Structure 1
Amino acid sequence: MKTLIKSSIICAALALSMGSCTKDFVKMNTNPNESAAVAPQTLLAPAIYNVINANLDRNLRINNEFMQVTVTRNDNREFHRYEVRATESEYMWRNWYLELTNIRDIFNRAEEGRQTGYQTYQGISLILDAWVSSLLTDTYGDIPYFESNLGYINNNTSPKFDKQEDIYRDLLLKLERANELLKENVAVESGNAEFDPIYSSDPAKWRKLGNSLYLRLLLRTSHKAELNSVAKIKEILETNASEYPLMAAQAESGILRFQGQEPFLNPFFNTRDLDFNGDKGYSEFFINNLLELNDPRLSTWATEATLGVYGGMQSGYPKGSIPERQSTLQVSLKNTAMPGIIMTYAELQFIIAELAERGIVQKDAEQHYKNGVNASMELWNKTITDAYFDNTKIGFQTDDTQTDRLKKIHLQKYFSLLFTDFQQWFEYRRTGLLDLYTGAALENDGKMPVRLSYPLISQSLNKANYDEAVSRMGGDRINNLMWWQIGVN
């Protein structure tokens, strides 16, 4: 009965948050929860669930097409050809900003209420804020940040766009503060712990996730001297590691485990099997690499094209030459198998492996690489032996160059990031270390897009600030490089 009551409360909270979704620009900057007395824990599950659902939706629609996971057979959807319509920008912008209001309200309500464990709620809020805000700026570039989500406080519905450098600086400060708050290790009231679908409000586990996310953002900016990211990386991993605990096992990954029932139902659970795959299939790049790796995850992710044979479709095929669909997504993924990922232990291990291989930290690159591979296998209930690394496409070889090893790290990281928002795309934009196939009919001069353009609604309802941002960035095009962007095309 106790569990049933709590599930009902969480369902009600989810319904409240979902009902706040709107395309109205003003409401993006307005508190969707009208009750001034709303408790911070009631906002936590809806915010996490809604962001992850939106991330999965556009992961399948946009990221997977850019990154040659899947290929659509709809000639009018052309992400795999690097063509992006301006109308595609609004969905994630709207969803991320709506939930940022809830996430920042967790911090404010915790501070106001001063109930048991308020420091823990504030730390969790800062981590979620850094996560969602980083997704926004890494997708669009300069964005409203310092003045965003304040419409219900000061009626500012036209926030200025901030520079990505300034945003990143503040994101790192938020994660630093989260580490300090969660270091206090203050438990929330026992009756409130289950409102958190990730770690049951365990401050120690959230602290580890926050510091792991910290490393993700530091790696992304490690080539930019402005933030002194390399020094901070060394502090976290070497000189002051005890003050920055990290995820230590796959079980500590930041994952929402979907269920076959409310309130944490897999968003595709009720989708018809035919509609789940829709008009898409896996790409040649995705399938061919898994075959060359002799990877045990293949059968979990993909169907056979014909009996005993897996195959993929050509990405970037010419218009009017739609290829025959081969292997598709396993329909079991739409039940509980597809994880709702914030960040995994496997990704953390690949981050450390890259940092070690580049000589930024003194760690064993090969061991962390193997840790990452094993953790990714574990996530999908697969196990491998050391013989897996005997494959020259996988294991480090004595005659490998640094680039060879980095490519191996990033190919495995690519597979570990499956269904993880836009991280595959972000990482390719950062490194260019995947040997993606070159389609026969790529648009955009064959260049991988490096951002989404700003949504049309921001252009019409926040024009002055939009114009300033566009002028600063050199235009509002999908090829405009961001502050941290090196450029891989």
Structure 2
Amino acid sequence: MKINKLLFILFAGITFLAGCTKDFVEINTNPNASSVASPQSLLAPVLVSTINNNLDRNFRINNELMQVTVTTSDAREFHRYEIKPSESEYMWRVWYSSLTDIRDIYTNAEATRQTGYQTFQGISLILETWVTSLLTDAFGDVPYSNAIEGRKGNTTPYFDKQQDIYTDLFKKLDSANALLSVKVNLPADISNTEPVYGGDAAKWQKFGNSLFLRLLMRVAHKPESNAIEKIKAIVSNPLLYPIIRDSSESAILYFTNKLPYVTRFYNARDFDFNGDKGYSEFFINNLMELQDPRLSRWATEASLGVYGGMQSGYPKGAVPEPQSRLQLSLKTEPLLGNIMNYAELQFILAEAVLRGYINGDAEAYYKKGVIANMEMWGCQVPENYFTKPAASFSGTERELMNKLFLQKYFSLMFTDFQQWYEYRRTGLPELYIGPGLLNGGKMPVRFNYPLIVQSLNKSNYDKAVAGMGGDSVNEKMWWQP
């Protein structure tokens, strides 16, 4: 039987009906038997929904901004740095809807107090941190403290400062670490309702602390965050703060392509998937220079034995001919369910060493990251790969960072907006500059607030905009350098 829930998306100032997808019928509890949805009935649906909606906008927006792909549609101008205000509502609605279910997982686990309830709560805190970080990193100041309170009659929540949000997210991750350190796995009869780690509390704990490092690095340049000290504490104390130790512990929902675990593009026509876009020159040229085996895994040949890319940021009306396109096998690629992988963590640790935050061997972390990502994609690392100038761990600090972030860029393929967030933080990797760029040639650093928020929560919207200095795509948020 299908569970329908009345979800209050307060941030948009509207109330709408939403429910668990019909694909998860078998794992939903009977609403006639209980008024509280069990945590296991909520977890898989919210994971699949969030990841797939992230994928949708990764392909549409992130990949265009970050020169993974280039559209042949002259009307879509993300690659020219134009993001229309209407684009922002989709992810705003998706993320707040997800947060409603994620918070219910925590609350309902406490209410049921079944075996493993504290593990459900730890998972909930990690997922809330993950989704909230996506939200605030896209918009800046957003409703948080009194968000999702429509059931209490609050449909006009205030906007929390991003700094305050991050401070609270760090507390949530510490709480999750404590809850999961008890290492109570989910019972065997419901472990299959948790599609990332099968209910393994220790692996969720490692993911939570690895996510902690991702977010700490994002704000480490802000002294008031105290992030550097926390980075040191996590890395130096693996017993208290275990982190992902190999690729088998990566946080990936592996799509089986059997309902309900199918990718966003499972039923897409081939043309709808790759017919109106091609890979960019930046993407193809860098993989070719590296003689990287991931190239053929991701891209088709433009002609026999030849790969080629399109110019990103081409002038309006001068649409180039697509060359290499996305491999159609990616439509059903299990790895599209990536949330955070081991390779990304290795690049985080390499950067932390280079910046002097921790002690260690930056080159070793860098090489582990490269090898791990290639192997994750089923590729063997060429014997002379790290002797190539483009891959060797040598050069000036800027050159080292550019090589590091180019490899991190590849490790973040198809992972929500992480490439864009990291570029905004570091300006790396060094993208090509297209001749038709709009927005004064400046990479957008945020989304506008949705138009419906401006109209239905105007007082709090006005306060948030005044605090941020405006609501354009160029208004820097707290952590933006």
Question: Given the two structures, how large is their TM-score scaled by the length of structure 1?
Answer: 0.93
Q: Which residue of 2 aligns with 1:276?
A: 273
Q: Distance in 1 between matches of 2:83 and 2:12?
A: 22
Q: Which residue of 1 aligns with 2:470?
A: 475
Instruction: Specify which of 254, 265, 271 is matched with residue 257 of structure 1.
Output: 254
Code of the residue aligned with 1:107 in structure 2: it is Y
Q: How does 1:264-413 map to 2 (within 5 A)?
A: 264-397=261-394, 400-413=395-408
Q: Which residue of 1 aligns with 2:227?
A: 229
Q: Distance in 1 between matches of 2:156 and 2:190?
A: 36
Q: Distance in 2 between matches of 1:475 and 1:428?
A: 22
Tell me how far 1:31 sits from its aligned partner: 8.0
- The question of whether the paired residues in 1 share the 8 Å contact of 2:146 and 2:157 is answered with yes
Q: Distance in 2 between matches of 1:23 and 1:217?
A: 26
Q: Distance in 2 between matches of 1:319 and 1:435?
A: 23
Code of the residue aligned with 2:258 in structure 1: it is Q
- Identity across aligned pairs (percent)? 57
Tell me how far 1:261 sits from its aligned partner: 1.5
1:181 aligns with 2:188: no
Tell me how far 1:335 sits from its aligned partner: 1.7
SS at match of 1:295: coil
- The question of whether the paired residues in 2 share the 8 Å contact of 1:283 and 1:313 is answered with yes
Q: Distance in 2 between matches of 1:395 and 1:187?
A: 42
Instruction: Specify which of 228, 240, 245 is matched with residue 242 of structure 2.
Output: 245
Tell me how far 1:21 sits from its aligned partner: 10
Tell me how far 1:132 sits from its aligned partner: 0.1
**Divergent runs of 4+, >3 A:** 19-35
Code of the residue aligned with 1:326 in structure 2: it is Q
Q: Distance in 1 between matches of 2:222 and 2:271?
A: 46
Q: Distance in 1 between matches of 2:235 and 2:170?
A: 16
Q: Which residue of 1 aligns with 2:84?
A: 85
Code of the residue aligned with 2:130 in structure 1: it is W
> 1:82-129: per-residue Cα shift (whole Å, max 9, x none)?
111110000000000001000000000011111111100000000000
Q: How does 1:49-88 map to 2 (within 5 A)?
A: 49-88=48-87
Q: Which residue of 1 aligns with 2:39?
A: 40
- The question of whether the paired residues in 1 share the 8 Å contact of 2:253 and 2:335 is answered with no
SS at match of 1:405: helix
Q: Which residue of 1 aligns with 2:446?
A: 451
Q: Mark the CA change 1:221 to 1:22 in structure 2 (over 3 Å): closer, same or farther.
A: closer
Q: Mark the CA change 1:97 to 1:472 in structure 2 (over 3 Å): closer, same or farther.
A: same
Tell me how far 1:187 sits from its aligned partner: 2.1
- The question of whether the paired residues in 2 share the 8 Å contact of 1:30 and 1:101 is answered with no
- The question of whether the paired residues in 1 share the 8 Å contact of 2:7 and 2:15 is answered with no
Q: Mark the CA change 1:331 to 1:20 in structure 2 (over 3 Å): closer, same or farther.
A: farther
Tell me how far 1:57 sits from its aligned partner: 0.2
Q: Which residue of 2 aligns with 1:145?
A: 144
Q: Distance in 2 between matches of 1:104 and 1:22?
A: 13
Code of the residue aligned with 2:208 in structure 1: it is G
Code of the residue aligned with 1:479 in structure 2: it is N
> 1:230-266: per-residue Cα shift (whole Å, max 9, x none)?
000000112x232000001111110011122201012
Tell me how far 1:134 sits from its aligned partner: 0.1
SS at match of 2:190: helix
- The question of whether the paired residues in 2 share the 8 Å contact of 1:175 and 1:214 is answered with yes
Q: Distance in 2 between matches of 1:176 and 1:248?
A: 19
Code of the residue aligned with 2:156 in structure 1: it is S
Q: Which residue of 2 aligns with 1:3?
A: none
Q: Distance in 2 between matches of 1:382 and 1:340?
A: 19
Q: Distance in 1 between matches of 2:117 and 2:265?
A: 34
Tell me how far 1:403 sits from its aligned partner: 1.5
In terms of mean alpha carbon deviation, does 282-291 or 185-194 score higher? 185-194
Instruction: Specify which of 420, 427, 432 is matched with residue 425 of structure 1.
Output: 420
> 1:270-298: per-residue Cα shift (whole Å, max 9, x none)?
11112111311100000000000100000
- The question of whether the paired residues in 1 share the 8 Å contact of 2:8 and 2:149 is answered with no
The alignment covers a number of residue pairs equal to 469
Tell me how far 1:218 sits from its aligned partner: 0.4
Tell me how far 1:150 sits from its aligned partner: 1.5
- The question of whether the paired residues in 2 share the 8 Å contact of 1:29 and 1:151 is answered with no
Q: Mark the CA change 1:308 to 1:413 in structure 2 (over 3 Å): closer, same or farther.
A: same
Q: CA RMSD in A?
A: 1.9
Q: Distance in 2 between matches of 1:93 and 1:32?
A: 17
Q: Which residue of 1 aligns with 2:25?
A: none
Tell me how far 1:189 sits from its aligned partner: 2.0
- The question of whether the paired residues in 2 share the 8 Å contact of 1:28 and 1:94 is answered with no
Q: Which residue of 1 aligns with 2:206?
A: 208
- The question of whether the paired residues in 2 share the 8 Å contact of 1:311 and 1:326 is answered with yes
- The question of whether the paired residues in 1 share the 8 Å contact of 2:206 and 2:242 is answered with yes
Tell me how far 1:378 sits from its aligned partner: 1.4
Q: Distance in 1 between matches of 2:18 and 2:283?
A: 42
1:435 aligns with 2:411: no
- The question of whether the paired residues in 2 share the 8 Å contact of 1:28 and 1:149 is answered with no
Code of the residue aligned with 1:379 in structure 2: it is M
> 1:315-353: per-residue Cα shift (whole Å, max 9, x none)?
010111110111100000002344211111110000000
Q: Which residue of 2 aligns with 1:112?
A: 111
SS at match of 1:327: coil
SS at match of 1:103: helix
SS at match of 2:130: helix
- The question of whether the paired residues in 2 share the 8 Å contact of 1:28 and 1:98 is answered with no
Q: Distance in 2 between matches of 1:29 and 1:417?
A: 33
Tell me how far 1:267 sits from its aligned partner: 1.6
Code of the residue aligned with 2:232 in structure 1: it is K
SS at match of 2:108: helix
- The question of whether the paired residues in 1 share the 8 Å contact of 2:11 and 2:157 is answered with no
Q: Mark the CA change 1:212 to 1:164 in structure 2 (over 3 Å): closer, same or farther.
A: same
SS at match of 1:71: strand
1:167 aligns with 2:165: yes
